[in-house]
Structure 1
C-alpha cells in the first residue's frame, strides 16, 4: 500500500513517518508533500490509498485538498492531522469524508489505531469495488448473449413480448425486411481465431450504422451457425446502400468478405421467418464465380434451380478408380466442372451439394478398399479457404485440391493392393510348408487362393528368389536331413514320409541338392 503525508512542517512529516507501524499494516511506499498543490501532483502520479493531511498550509490548505480528493480520488482514505481542536476543521473533515481527526502532537497509539482502521476500511471497500466491477463486467458480457437469444426467438417464434424486445431497441413498424450476413471461418481467423470477437466486431459495425440511421437492429442468429440477421423497420429505400456500406466497412476493418442477402418485405412481425428464409435462398443462389466489389444480393423472385448430382457420374467414377491412375480422372473432372459451372455460374447451394455428395462417394470407396480415413471437416469449412479477398470462388484451386485428394486415394489403393499381394504370397508359402509331403500342383494353389497360376509363379519367384517346385524340394531335403541325423529309419521310409514314392529318385535328388548321398550324410 502507498501513504502520502501532507504537512508544511517537515518535523511533523518526519514524526509521523517515525511513529507509524507501516510494515505491520502492509504499507510499502511513503510520499511527502509540503502543501496541497504538491500533494495533488503526487496523488495523480502514485494514487496513494491512505492520505494524512494538515489543515492549515500555504498555497492550498487542507480544506481545498480534501475537496479535490473527494472529487478526483474518492477511493483514498483521508486522515486530518492539525494543531487546532476546532469544530470548524472537524466539520470540514467530516463533510469531505475523512476517516478521522488527529491532533498535534500526534499520539503514537492513536496514530496506529487510526492507520489500522483506515487500511481495513480501504481493503473492505476495494473488495466491494472489485466484486461490483466483476459483476458489471459479467452483466455486460451476458447482455449480447441474452439479446441474441431473445431476438433469435423473435424470428423462430410467433409469440411476441412487446416490451421485452423494445428494450433491445427493436421498434414496432408496419413493414419489416430481414437481411442475412454470412460469417465464415476466415472472419474468426482474421482475429486470431477468436470467433466471439469476430461476431462482436462485425455486430458493432452493423449496429452503429443502423442506430445512426434509426432503421434496424443486427444480432447473432443462434438457430443457424455462421449467420448474423439484420431486421429493418425503416429506410427501406436506402437498404441496399446501407448494406453495401456495412459490407465495405467490415472488409476494411477485418479484411474479410461477408456476403449479405436481402429477404422479401413483410407486413407482420410473425412473418419474419418468411423474410429470413427468402434471404437465405438468395444467399445460397448468389453466383460465386462473379467478379464484384460488393456481395450484397437481392432477388425478389427466386429462380427454380435444379441441383446437379454427382451421383449421375457413378459409373464413370468407378471406371476411373479401376484404372487406378489420376489421368483417368482428368477428362471426367473437366466434364463435371463444365456441367456444374455452365454459363459461368456456380451457386453456394450447388457447391455445398457437390461437397456433400463428393464426401459420401469418397467414403464409399474408402470403405470398399478398407482404407482408413481421417475425420472430415465440416462441409462449409472445407470450402471457406477457396475464396479471394473479394469473395470470388477460386475454382482452379478447388479443382486442384480435389485432384490431390483423388491422387492420395489412388496411392493408398495401390499400397493396399501391394500389401494384399505380399500377404497372399506369404500365405502360399505357409500352404507349401504344410503340404510339402505330397505333390502340390500350381493349379491347386491357384484354385485355393483365387489367383492365376502365372501371377503366383511370378510373384513367388520375386518374393523368395526361387520357383515353387525348387522351394518344395528344399523343404523336403531339410526334413530328410533332420530324419537322417535323428532316427534309425530306413532310407525308403524317409523318402515316403517326405513325398517320394521311389527311394532311388529320392537318393538322386538328395545327392544333387546336398552334395552327398543319404547314407554318407547319416555317416557324417
Structure 2
C-alpha cells in the first residue's frame, strides 16, 4: 500500500512520517506534497490508498483537494491534519468523505489508531469492490445486467446511441423524463435479503407496465445503491398515473413501499442527468415527518432553508457528557428535536446531515475516553430501520435509539472511570508501601496524585476497608514482625527502621495491634525455630 502526506510545512510532513506505524499497517511507499496541486500530480501517478492532508495551503488548499479526490480518486481514504479546530473545516471534511480530522500537534497514539482504522476500512471496501467486479464479470452476458450497465451509462452521457435504440426499443423523441424509485433495506428484507431477486421482481413489474404502454424502460441505476430509474419518451400526460399504478402494484402484491420521484422534462439535446438530479432533489428534500398513504413526489413544495448543524450544540453536549448521567442529555435532545422540527418539517437531507455529524461527535468522545470506535454502516442504510412498511419515518423510534446509544456510551465511560479510579487507589497503596518508614501526610498524597484529600480517604476506605493511617500502622507492624523473627536487631533499631523515633511508643503500638510486646513476639518465634 502507498500513502501521501500533503502539508506546506516540512516539519509536519516529517513528523507524520516518523510517528506513523507504516510497516505495521502494510504501507511500503510514502510520498510528500507541499500543496494540493503537487498532491494531484502524485495521486494520478501513484494512486495512494491513504492520504493525509492539511487544510490551509498555498496554490490549492485542502478543501479543494478533498473535493477533487472525491470526484477523481474516491477509493482512497483521506485524513485531515490541521492546526485549526474549526467546525467549518470539520464539516467540509465530513462532506467530502474524510475518514477523520486530526489536530496539530499530533498525538502519536491517535495518529496510528486513525491510520489503522483507515487501512482496515480501505481493505474492507477493496474486497467489496473486487467481489462486485468478479460478480459483474460472471454475469456480464446476462441481458438484465447488460441493460442496467448500458442505461446507467446513458444517464451519465450527453446523447442516445443507435445500439440503445436497437437493444432496448428506446424511441427517438423530442422530450424525455426520468423517474427515480428508491429501494431501501426494508424492501430487500421482504425478499429474504436477496438483493438481486428484489431488483429483478420490481423491474419486472415496472417494465411490464412500460411495455404495455410503449412509453419507457426501467433499469437498475448502478451509479448509486438502492436506485431504479425509468426513462420515459412518450405519453407524458399519463406519467403520473402510470407511476402511481406502479407504486400501488408493488404495495399491494409484495407489501413493499418504494417511494417514487419524478424529474423535470428535458429535450433531446439536454442530458437526462438534469431530470435525474431534480428527482434526486425531491428525494432529499421531501418532508419525512408527513405521514402519507402514497409516497409519490412530483414537485418540491418545501421552502428552502439552510441545514442546521449538530456542531452548534457542541457546548451543551460537552456539559452533558461531563455530567455523565442520562438525564443530562434529555434537555439537549429535546432542544435539538424542537429546533429541527419547529415547522413540523424534517427533510431526509437534514436527517442524513444530522446523523453524519452525530457519528463525528460520537467518535470524538469515544476517542477522548479511549473507547474502541465501532465500524458504522453507510449513513442512508443506518436510517432504514426508522422507516416503517408504509415508508413513513418513525421519529420517536429514532430518538429512542439515540438515547439508548448515549446510555451505552455513558455506561462504558463509567466502567472506564471506575477501573481508572481503582488503579489510582492501588497506585496510592504502592506509594504508601514505598514510604512506610516516614510520616506521609494526606496532603502530600493529594498533591502527588492530583486528587482531593476527601476523595482519597473515601475511595481508600472503600477499597481496603481501613483508613490510610491504620493501613500504614498495619504495614509497619508487618515489617516489624519480619525483622523480629529474622534479625538480631535491637528493638529501638527496628522502631527507627519502620518510622518510629520513640521505641516506647513503638512497643505500645505493637502490643495494641498484636496483643503481645515485641520481645514476647521474638521469644515465641525463636522457640519455634
Using the size of structure 2 for normalisation, the TM-score is: 0.70
> 1:344 is paired with a residue of what secondary structure?
coil
In structure 1, the partner of 2:426 is 426
In structure 2, the partner of 1:199 is 199
Deviations 1:23-80 (A, max 9, x none): xxxxxxxxxxxxxxxxxxxxxxxxxxxxxxxxxxxxxxxxxxxxxxxxxxxxxxxxxx
* 1:29-428 to 2 correspondences below 5 Å: 142-158=142-158, 160-268=160-268, 270-299=270-299, 304-428=304-428
Deviations 1:194-220 (A, max 9, x none): 011111111111111111111111111
Partner Cα separation in structure 1 for residue 363 and residue 355 of structure 2: 12
Q: Following TM superposition, by how much is the alpha carbon of 1:473 offset from its aligned partner in structure 2, in angstroms?
A: 0.9
In structure 1, the partner of 2:51 is none
Using the size of structure 1 for normalisation, the TM-score is: 0.71
Q: Following TM superposition, by how much is the alpha carbon of 1:403 offset from its aligned partner in structure 2, in angstroms?
A: 1.2
Measured at CA, do residues 444 and 165 of structure 1 come closer, stay the same or move farther in structure 2, by a change above 3 Å?
A: farther
Contact 2:186/2:389 (<8 A) preserved: no
Partner Cα separation in structure 2 for residue 139 and residue 324 of structure 1: 54
Measured at CA, do residues 141 and 245 of structure 1 come closer, stay the same or move farther in structure 2, by a change above 3 Å?
A: farther
Q: Following TM superposition, by how much is the alpha carbon of 1:342 offset from its aligned partner in structure 2, in angstroms?
A: 2.4
Deviations 1:61-113 (A, max 9, x none): xxxxxxxxxxxxxxxxxxxxxxxxxxxxxxxxxxxxxxxxxxxxxxxxxxxxx
In structure 2, the partner of 1:487 is 487
Q: Which runs of 4+ in 1 moved over 6 A?
A: 138-141
Deviations 1:284-331 (A, max 9, x none): 111112122211111278853311111111111112222222222222
In structure 1, the partner of 2:85 is none
Partner Cα separation in structure 1 for residue 263 and residue 252 of structure 2: 25
Deviations 1:397-431 (A, max 9, x none): 11111111111212222222222111111111111
Task: List gaps (5 residues or longer) in structure 1.
Answer: 1-137
> 2:180 is paired with a residue of what secondary structure?
strand
Q: How many residues align?
A: 387
Measured at CA, do residues 323 and 260 of structure 1 come closer, stay the same or move farther in structure 2, by a change above 3 Å?
A: same
Pick the structure with greater CA Rg.
Answer: 1
In structure 1, the partner of 2:13 is none
Partner Cα separation in structure 1 for residue 232 and residue 427 of structure 2: 73
Contact 1:281/1:302 (<8 A) preserved: no
Measured at CA, do residues 211 and 305 of structure 1 come closer, stay the same or move farther in structure 2, by a change above 3 Å?
A: farther
Partner Cα separation in structure 2 for residue 363 and residue 384 of structure 1: 21
In structure 2, the partner of 1:453 is 453
Partner Cα separation in structure 1 for residue 300 and residue 448 of structure 2: 69
In structure 1, the partner of 2:64 is none
Output the aligned Cα RMSD. 1.8
